[in-house]
C-alpha cells in the first residue's frame, strides 16, 4: 500500500508526524511524506532516524507580502482623532462678569462710609437671594443625564480600516491557497497513492483535492480544534474549510477524548474518531548526566524547574519567571527553547537575576537553546521539576495534552501543570505532578515549588516511571495500524491524476 503523508510544516519539529512515519515504515507500508519549507527541495530529504523520503514545497511569501504592503501604504495612516471632532473650548458668559462687578460694588459700599453700609447690606442680601433663586431654577430645569456617544468617526477612516481588514483576510486566504497548492503539486508528481494521511487543516483541503483527482482514501489527523484558533476571521476561515471538506474524510484521528467529543458534537458528519495521543516512544530509564546543570552554570545540588519548548504567548512563562523571585535559594528556573517572547522574558528575568547575584547566588532564571528531539530526554533528566503552566485562555488550552505530559515523565521528571481538563485528568490518574489553579499567579507556582520535599519528589518519580511504562507510544500505535488494516481491506482502484 502506497501512503502519502501531508503536513503544512517541514516535519522536522513535528514529533507526532515523525512517530507515525516510523510506525508505518516499520510495518511494511510504502510511505512518502510531503511538507512545506522555506526553500524548495530539489529532491527528497531525510531526517536522522527517519527512513522516509520527504518532499518539501516552497512557501514563498515574498510576492504576497509585497502585494499586502503596497495596499497598506496606499491606505495611509488612520487617524480617528480628527481635529473637527475636538470639543470647543468653553467661554465665560458675560453674566458671570456682571455678577462679579456687582458683588465688588456692594463690598466697596460696605467697607466705605458708614452711612452707606445699610444700603450695601440690603443690596448684597438681594444679590445673594437672587443668585440662590437662579441656582434653584437651574437645578429644577436641569435635564436628566444622558449617555454621550463618542464622536462619529470620519468616513474616510472607517473605509481605511475596512480596507485593511479585507486585505488581511485576503492575504490569509492567498497564503492558505499557496501552501495547499504546493502540497497538491508535490504529491501529484509522485502519485497516485492508496491513502492520503493529512495532518492539520490546510493538508485536509489538499488531501480532499487529491482524493477527488486520483482516488484513494483520506485520513484526517486533527491535532487541535482549528475553529477555536486565532481571531474571529481566521477561525471562520478554518471552520469553512472543515465544512467544505469533511465529507471527503474516510478515517478521522485526533489527540484526546475532549477534542474527539467536540468534533462529534459540532461535526457529526466526520467518521467516528480514533484517539491517538502524543505519547513518547518506549524508553529505558534515563540517568542524569549533568549536561543541563553544566550548561545552566548551576552548582551541584541545585534544583531546577525546567520549561522546554516554544516561548509562546499564554503558556504562563511570565508567571513562571515571576515565581523565581520567591523561590527558596536552592530552586532555579531554566527555559530551554526558542520563540518570539524570548526578548520580553529575558527583560523580565534581568532584575531577578541582578538581585540574585547581589545576594551571592547564581542567576535564578537561565535561558538555553532548544535541544534536538533525539537528545531532549537526556537534557530533561537534569531537571527536578518540569513546567506546563498553560493559561486557560481558549478551548484548545482547556483540552490540551501537550507532548510535555509524556516528555517529562519519560525522563523521570515530575511536573507542575495547570488544572485544565485533560492535563488534570492525566495527572490525577497517575500522580505524576502537581496541579495549580486555572487562574494561577506567580505566587501559586512558588507556593507549590517551595513546599516540595525530597520524599514527595521520590514518590512522584516512581509514578512517572509507571506512567511511562503504561502510557507510551506502544499503547496507541496499534490504533493507527488498525486504520490502515481496515483501509487495506476496502481499497478502491486508483485513477490517474488529471
Q: What pLDDT digit, counting tens, does each position of 431-485 carry? A: 999 999 999 999 999 999 999 999 999 999 999 999 999 999 999 999 999 999 9
- Taking residues 251-273, what's their average pLDDT? 97
Looking at residue 171, what is its pLDDT?
A: 80
Render pLDDT for 212-234 as a digit per residue (tens, 0 to 9): 999 999 999 999 999 998 788 88
What distance in Å separates the CA atoms of residue 117 and residue 111, rounded to the nearest whole number? 7
Do 417 and 362 belong together in one domain? yes
Do 27 and 136 belong together in one domain? no
Instruction: With respect to residue 393, please indicate whether it lies within any of the assigned structural domains.
Output: yes
Say how far residue 240 (Cα) sits from the centre of its chain.
21
Judged against a pLDDT cut of 60, whether residue 118 lies above it is answered with yes
Looking at residue 170, what is its pLDDT?
A: 83
Judged against a pLDDT cut of 70, whether residue 82 lies above it is answered with no
- Taking residues 229-252, what's their average pLDDT? 92
- Taking residues 307-316, what's their average pLDDT? 95
Query: Which residue, 275, 299, 327, sits at the end of a domain?
Result: 275
Do 436 and 337 belong together in one domain? yes
Number of domains in the chain: 3
Instruction: With respect to residue 94, please indicate whether it lies within any of the assigned structural domains.
Output: no
Residue 123, classified by CB atoms within 10 Å of its CB into exposed (0-12), middle (13-18) or buried (19+), is middle
- Which range, of 133-137, 188-192, 367-371, averages the lowest pLDDT? 133-137
Q: How confident is the model at residue 41 (pLDDT cuts 50, 70, 90)?
A: low
- Which range, of 118-127, 146-155, 428-437, averages the lowest pLDDT? 146-155
N residues, the chain: 498
Instruction: With respect to residue 285, please indicate whether it lies within any of the assigned structural domains.
Output: no
Render pLDDT for 160-180 as a digit per residue (tens, 0 to 9): 655 666 667 788 888 889 999
Do 369 and 313 belong together in one domain? yes
Judged against a pLDDT cut of 90, whether residue 108 lies above it is answered with no
Do 175 and 54 belong together in one domain? yes
Judged against a pLDDT cut of 90, whether residue 199 lies above it is answered with yes
Q: Which residue has the higher pLDDT, 119 or 409?
A: 409
Cell 458528519 -> residue: 269
**Model pTM score:** 0.78
Looking at residue 120, what is its pLDDT?
A: 64
Q: Which residue has the higher pLDDT, 87 or 344?
A: 344
Do 229 and 269 belong together in one domain? yes
Of 127-136, 339-348, 488-497, which one has max mean pLDDT?
339-348
Do 264 and 413 belong together in one domain? no
Judged against a pLDDT cut of 70, whether residue 90 lies above it is answered with no
Q: Which residue has the higher pLDDT, 134 or 183?
A: 183
Q: Which residues contact 208 (CB under 8 A, 6 or more apart)?
A: 218, 244, 245, 248, 249
Q: Which residue has the higher pLDDT, 92 or 418?
A: 418
Instruction: With respect to residue 133, please indicate whether it lies within any of the assigned structural domains.
Output: yes
Looking at residue 34, what is its pLDDT?
A: 95
Do 199 and 60 belong together in one domain? yes
Instruction: With respect to residue 311, please indicate whether it lies within any of the assigned structural domains.
Output: yes
Based on C-alpha coordinates, what's the Rg of the chain? Answer: 34
Looking at residue 321, what is its pLDDT?
A: 98
Residue 199: give its domain's CATH number: 3.40.50.2000
Looking at residue 158, what is its pLDDT?
A: 57
- Mapping DSSP to helix (H, G, I), strand (E, B) and coil, where does residue 148 land? coil
Instruction: With respect to residue 488, please indicate whether it lies within any of the assigned structural domains.
Output: no
Do 344 and 431 belong together in one domain? yes
Whole-number Cα distances in Å, 100 to 51, 105, 262: 96, 9, 74
Burial 441-451 (b: 16+ CB within 10 A, else e): ebebbbebbee
Q: Which residue has the higher pLDDT, 81 or 335?
A: 335
- Mapping DSSP to helix (H, G, I), strand (E, B) and coil, where does residue 369 land? strand
Say how far residue 191 (Cα) sits from the centre of its chain.
35
Do 237 and 362 belong together in one domain? no
Written in H, E and C, the secondary structure of 83-118 is: HHHCCCCCCCCHHHHHHHHHHHHHHHHHHCCHHHHH
Do 131 and 183 belong together in one domain? no
Instruction: With respect to residue 232, please indicate whether it lies within any of the assigned structural domains.
Output: yes
Looking at residue 28, what is its pLDDT?
A: 95
Do 224 and 124 belong together in one domain? no
Render pLDDT for 50-71 as a digit per residue (tens, 0 to 9): 889 999 988 766 665 666 666 5
Looking at residue 144, what is its pLDDT?
A: 59
406 closest CA partner among 247, 298, 255, 258: 255
Looking at residue 493, what is its pLDDT?
A: 40
Question: What average pLDDT does the chain have?
Answer: 86
What distance in Å separates the CA atoms of residue 249 and residue 270, rounded to the nearest whole number? 7
Instruction: With respect to residue 44, please indicate whether it lies within any of the assigned structural domains.
Output: yes
Quote the domain boundaries for residue 368: 291-471
| DSSP-derived secondary structure letter, 247 | G
Query: Would you tell me how many other CB atoms lie within 10 Å of the CB of residue 431?
Result: 15
Amino acid at each position: 500500500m502506497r501512503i502519502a503523508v501531508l503536513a503544512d510544516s517541514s516535519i522536522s519539529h513535528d514529533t507526532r508526524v515523525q512517530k507515525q512515519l516510523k510506525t508505518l515504515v516499520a510495518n511494511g507500508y510504502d510511505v512518502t511524506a510531503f511538507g512545506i519549507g522555506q526553500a524548495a527541495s530539489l529532491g527528497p530529504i531525510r531526517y536522522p532516524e527517519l527512513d522516509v523520503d520527504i518532499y518539501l514545497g516552497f512557501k514563498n511569501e515574498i510576492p504576497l507580502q509585497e502585494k499586502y504592503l503596497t495596499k497598506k501604504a496606499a491606505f495611509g495612516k488612520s487617524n480617528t482623532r480628527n481635529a473637527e471632532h475636538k470639543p470647543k473650548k468653553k467661554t465665560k458668559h458675560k453674566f458671570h462678569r456682571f455678577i462679579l462687578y456687582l458683588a465688588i460694588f456692594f463690598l466697596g459700599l460696605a467697607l466705605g462710609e458708614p452711612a452707606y453700609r445699610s444700603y450695601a447690606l440690603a443690596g448684597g442680601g438681594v444679590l445673594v437671594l437672587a443668585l440662590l433663586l437662579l441656582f434653584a431654577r437651574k437645578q429644577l430645569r436641569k435635564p436628566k443625564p444622558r449617555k454621550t456617544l463618542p464622536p462619529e468617526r470620519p468616513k474616510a477612516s472607517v473605509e481605511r480600516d475596512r480596507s485593511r481588514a479585507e486585505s488581511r483576510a485576503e492575504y490569509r486566504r492567498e497564503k492558505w491557497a499557496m501552501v495547499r497548492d504546493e502540497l497538491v503539486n508535490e504529491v501529484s508528481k509522485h502519485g497516485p497513492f492508496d491513502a492520503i494521511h493529512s495532518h492539520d487543516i490546510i493538508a485536509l483541503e489538499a488531501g480532499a483535492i487529491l482524493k477527488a483527482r486520483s482516488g484513494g482514501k483520506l485520513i484526517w489527523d486533527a491535532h487541535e480544534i482549528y475553529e477555536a484558533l486565532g481571531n474571529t476571521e481566521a477561525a471562520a476561515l478554518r471552520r469553512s474549510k472543515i465544512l467544505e471538506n469533511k465529507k471527503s474524510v474516510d478515517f478521522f484521528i485526533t489527540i484526546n477524548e475532549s477534542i474527539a467529543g467536540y468534533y462529534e458534537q459540532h461535526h457529526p458528519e466526520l467518521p467516528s474518531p480514533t484517539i491517538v495521543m502524543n505519547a513518547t516512544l518506549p524508553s529505558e530509564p534515563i540517568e542524569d548526566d549533568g549536561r543541563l546543570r553544566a550548561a545552566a552554570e548551576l552548582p551541584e545540588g541545585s534544583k531546577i524547574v525546567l520549561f522546554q519548548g516554544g516561548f509562546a504567548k499564554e503558556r504562563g512563562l511570565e508567571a513562571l519567571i515571576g515565581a523565581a523571585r520567591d523561590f527558596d535559594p536552592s530552586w532555579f528556573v531554566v527555559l530551554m527553547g526558542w520563540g518570539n517572547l524570548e526578548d520580553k522574558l529575558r527583560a523580565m528575568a534581568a532584575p531577578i537575576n541582578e538581585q540574585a547575584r547581589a545576594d551571592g547566588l547564581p542567576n535564578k532564571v537561565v535561558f538555553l537553546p532548544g535541544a534536538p528531539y533525539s537528545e531532549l530526554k537526556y537534557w530533561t533528566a537534569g531537571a527536578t521539576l518540569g513546567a506546563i503552566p498553560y493559561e486557560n485562555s481558549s478551548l484548545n488550552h482547556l483540552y490540551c495534552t501537550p507532548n510535555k505530559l509524556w516528555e517529562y515523565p519519560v525522563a523521570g521528571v515530575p511536573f507542575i501543570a495547570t488544572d485544565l481538563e485533560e492535563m488534570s485528568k492525566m495527572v490525577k490518574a497517575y500522580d505524576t505532578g502537581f496541579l495549580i489553579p486555572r487562574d494561577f499567579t506567580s505566587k501559586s507556582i512558588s507556593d507549590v515549588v517551595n513546599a516540595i520535599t525530597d520524599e514527595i519528589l521520590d514518590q512522584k518519580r516512581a509514578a512517572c516511571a509507571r506512567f511511562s511504562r503504561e502510557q507510551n507510544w506502544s499503547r496507541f500505535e496499534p490504533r493507527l495500524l488498525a486504520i490502515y488494516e481496515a483501509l487495506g481491506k476496502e481499497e478502491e482502484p486508483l485513477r490517474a491524476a488529471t
